[in-house]
Chain A
Amino acid sequence: DQQVKQNSPSLSVQEGRISILNCDYTNSMFDYFLWYKKYPAEGPTFLISISSIKDKNEDGRFTVFLNKSAKHLSLHIVPSQPGDSAVYFCAASAAGGGADGLTFGKGTHLIIQP
């Protein structure tokens, strides 16, 4: 059973607009969440993270929101730029802060259109 779900395999957004990528999880033990960006033939790049004690974390154009009651998090990218076109993975870890590995979603392919 998938513990981290990214239900949109792809998302197309116009340049300059907001991109919103969604992620749901089922494991109540998850307490730390991360977003990664991946270009083809490269390793994932860490973008931003959030601990379960917060509901929002911001870093430049990237903001992650966490709704614990709904077991839902989202990544907002504002404004979207052509270089943001990539696959985005949501990841989660349980108590231990990821020392025993991360659980990843299947990814969402974000396409930024000019």
Chain B
Amino acid sequence: DVKVTQSSRYLVKRTGEKVFLECVQDMDHENMFWYRQDPGLGLRLIYFSYDVKMKEKGDIPEGYSVSREKKERFSLILESASTNQTSMYLCASRTNTGEQYFGPGTRLTVT
């Protein structure tokens, strides 16, 4: 079974704070992804990584950065959190056959 874990289920931060969201997968997958889900908008890709230290921008990378120092860990960083970054953040890991498996999500509220 693929297991993807995220460091927090719920997080409340203040505007301007630096926020770290951590994601770990235990299946030695090369590809990992960060999405955000907002009501009426579905899931949108923020960043992805296909190998250690490699990263690519997704569809909505503005205001975010990522870090992949180890294969199993992919971190999403909000350098200076803003209220429009209040969202559900979902990390995923991809199998060799193309399916992506998601973590439980982090509900981030920026006040």
Chain A interface residues (CB < 8 Å from chain B): 9, 32, 34, 36, 41-46, 49, 89, 91, 93, 97-107
Chain A residues positioned under 8 Å from B101 (CB to CB): 46
Q: Which 3 residue pairs are nearest across A and B when measured between Cβ atoms?
A: A43-B102, A97-B98, A106-B42
Residues from chain B with a CB closer than 8 A to the CB of A103 are 45
| New A-B pairs, 20, CB < 8 Å, besides A43-B104, A89-B42, A100-B56 | A9-B40, A34-B98, A41-B9, A41-B107, A42-B105, A43-B90, A43-B103, A43-B105, A44-B43, A89-B43, A91-B100, A99-B31, A99-B94, A100-B48, A101-B33, A101-B58, A102-B45, A102-B100, A104-B43, A106-B40
What total of A-B pairs shows CB separation below 8 Å? 65
Partner-A contacts on B (CB < 8 A): 4, 9, 31, 33, 35, 40-45, 48, 50, 56, 58-59, 90, 92, 94, 97-105, 107
Most chain B CB atoms below 10 A, which of A42, A43, A99: A43
Q: How far is the CA of A81 from the CA of B92 in the complex (A)?
A: 27
For the complex, would chain A's binding face be called helix, strand, loop or mixed by DSSP majority? loop
Partner of B98, one of A32, A41, A89: A32
Chain A contacts of B104 at CB under 8 A?
A: 42-43
Query: Across the two chains, which residue of chain A brings its CB closest to B105?
Result: A43
Q: How far is the CA of A40 from the CA of B31 in the complex (A)?
A: 25
Shortest Cβ gap from A47 to chain B (Å): 10
Q: Verify A105–B102 contact, CB threshold 8 A.
A: no
Closest to A46 in B: B99
